[in-house]
Structure formats: structure tokens, C-alpha cells
């Protein structure tokens, strides 16, 4: 008796298409979030839209504010949905060229290091000595051609579609929150004289957010999970000399922030999304302060 009642309750909780109540579905319109079945789905740049939202934004004039195209996270749909990803790649490449031109003297000043004597600078350097900017600048430095090539290809493949799905502002917040969280965990756990650099922390955050988004849209997650597992195996492989702390910190921050981005209710969407970013940053700040207290 109890089992039958539970089954009936579960059946009622399954969403059904708003136009065809007899059809269960796990897909929702990315603009109005109404459940839609395969017959009602209209393919969009990210996800699917319902027929009403497509008709509402198909006029020749500007659409009303309530019906303007929005990303699945509520961001504004732009003419170039990958613009910010291109800018980030450009900044990384430009700083890599600066690194090649200036050598270790440039890298030593901006890579992430907790506290250590740096021969080229003839002084003790590091975040523990007040150089907190290293937590940010290390996100844009790379140690060689294979390093930056792999990271920039990953940023383009993962970051581009995610920027289109979230919108520029939310994507920008996710990228920097993930990168700084990765730097904070690396600073907390790694040896104080162990330098690290690279965009990998932020990119792992994009991996985590992409997994959450694909789950939200009911996409096949197996290719992404396989790629993520391969990257984690490489991260922890002996002799690879990879700052795994930054990867894990970025990944966790990306999952948490990404969940808030794509699952926040529409009524308080921006408050929850950016509020989560602030909370993740506060956790990163606490980790940094704890480590600084330990080293000083």
C-alpha cells in the first residue's frame, strides 16, 4: 500500500510538456523554463526554447524586455557569444610572449609562491609577505609552450560554449572565482617555497560548471566526464609536477558556483548567483588569511 502511494506520488512529480500533458519530459525552455517535449523543442544557441518564446523574439523590431533572448542562466544573448573567451586567451598569450622576452625575472615577480628567498630578486618574496596580487597574476602565466597550448585549447573548447550558456558577466565571475579559489587552496596546502602558475585552476572551474550545466539540460555527460577523468589522472600522475591543489580548488569552486548559476530561481536569480560568487571568494580569503598567519 505504501509502495503504491509512493509510486503515484513520484509519477505526479515528473514534469510534463505544457502543451502535451500526456508526455513526460526532463527538458525545459531556456527562456521561460516551461517543460517541453521533443515535438515542441526549438533548437537554440544553447539548449531548447518553446514555440511561444521563439515567436515572441522573432519580430523585426526590438523584442520587449520580458521576451528578449536570455541564456539558460539569465544572461544577455550577445552577437559574439565567445568574445570574453577570446579576450582571456589573448591576455594569456600576450603575457606568455612577455615571459619569453623577459625570462625568469618577470615570472619570479608574478608567479604564485607562499614565501621563499628568490635569488633573482635577492629577497624573501611571496603572498605571506603581502604580495597578494600573486594569487591573481599567476592565473595568467605559463611555464612553456606545451603548458599554454594545452590550457588555451581547453579554454576555447570548454569556455566558449559555457560563455554562450551563461552570458559574459556570469562567465567572467565564474572564471575569476574558480581561478582565485584554486590559487587560495594551492597557497594553503603547497609548500611555501613551491612556485605555481597557469590558468588551470580557472579552467577546471569551467569543467565543473559545464558538468552542472549539461546535467541541467539533460545532455549526455559521458564525453565530458571522460575528459575530466583524463585530466585528473594527468594531474595526479607521478613526475608531472602539476599543482593539483589549484586544479581541485578551481573544480570545487566551479561546481558550486555553476550550480548557483544554472539552478537559481528566476525571481532572485542574480542575487543567488552573484551572492554565491561572493561566498566562494570569502572562503578563499579565509584560506589565504589562515595560511598567512601560519607563515608569519
Q: How far apart are CA 97 and CA 286, in angstroms?
A: 34
- HEC profile for 15-79? CECCCCCCCECCCECCCCCCECCCCCCEECCCCEECHHHHHHCCCCCCCCHHHCCECCCCCECCC
Handedness of CA 87, 91, 92, 97 (dihedral sign): positive
Q: Which of 137, 108, 110, 133 is nearest to 123 (CA)?
A: 108
Given 147, 186, 247, 263, the catalytic residue: 247
Has 183 been annotated as catalytic? Answer: no
Q: How far apart are CA 277 and CA 205, in angstroms?
A: 12
Given 43, 105, 200, 263, the catalytic residue: 200
Q: Which of 79, 112, 269, 84 is nearest to 187 (CA)?
A: 112
Has 200 been annotated as catalytic? Answer: yes
DSSP 3-state assignment of 118?
Answer: strand
φ/ψ region of 167 (left if φ > 0, alpha if ψ in -120 to 50, else beta) reads left
Residues with a known catalytic role: 200, 247
Amino acid at each position: 500500500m505504501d509502495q503504491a502511494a509512493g509510486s503515484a506520488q513520484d509519477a505526479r512529480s515528473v514534469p510534463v510538456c505544457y502543451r502535451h500533458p500526456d508526455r513526460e519530459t526532463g527538458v525545459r525552455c531556456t527562456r521561460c523554463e516551461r517543460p517541453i517535449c521533443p515535438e515542441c523543442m526549438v533548437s537554440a544557441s544553447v539548449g531548447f526554447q518553446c514555440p511561444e518564446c521563439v515567436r515572441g523574439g522573432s519580430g523585426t523590431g526590438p523584442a520587449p524586455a520580458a521576451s528578449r533572448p536570455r541564456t539558460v542562466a539569465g544572461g544577455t544573448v550577445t552577437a559574439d557569444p565567445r568574445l570574453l573567451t577570446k579576450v582571456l586567451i589573448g591576455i594569456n598569450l600576450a603575457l606568455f610572449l612577455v615571459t619569453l622576452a623577459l625570462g625568469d625575472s618577470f615570472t619570479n615577480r608574478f608567479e604564485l609562491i607562499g614565501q621563499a628567498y628568490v635569488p633573482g630578486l635577492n629577497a624573501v618574496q611571496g603572498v605571506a609577505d603581502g604580495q597578494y596580487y600573486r594569487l591573481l597574476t599567476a592565473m595568467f602565466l605559463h611555464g612553456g609552450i606545451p603548458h599554454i597550448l594545452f590550457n588555451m585549447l581547453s579554454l576555447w573548447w570548454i569556455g566558449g560554449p559555457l560563455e554562450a550558456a551563461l552570458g559574459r558577466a556570469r562567465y567572467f565571475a565564474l572564471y575569476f572565482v574558480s581561478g582565485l579559489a584554486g590559487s587560495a587552496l594551492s597557497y594553503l596546502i603547497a609548500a611555501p617555497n613551491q612556485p605555481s602558475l597557469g590558468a588551470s585552476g580557472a579552467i577546471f572551474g569551467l569543467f565543473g560548471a559545464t558538468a552542472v550545466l549539461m546535467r541541467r539540460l539533460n545532455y549526455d555527460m559521458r564525453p565530458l566526464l571522460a575528459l575530466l577523468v583524463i585530466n585528473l589522472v594527468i594531474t595526479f600522475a607521478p613526475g608531472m609536477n602539476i599543482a593539483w591543489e589549484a586544479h581541485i580548488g578551481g573544480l570545487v569552486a566551479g561546481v558550486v558556483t555553476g550550480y548557483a548559476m544554472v539552478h537559481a530561481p528566476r525571481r532572485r536569480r542574480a542575487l543567488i548567483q552573484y551572492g554565491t560568487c561572493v561566498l566562494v571568494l570569502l572562503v578563499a580569503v579565509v584560506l589565504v588569511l589562515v595560511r598567512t598567519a601560519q607563515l608569519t
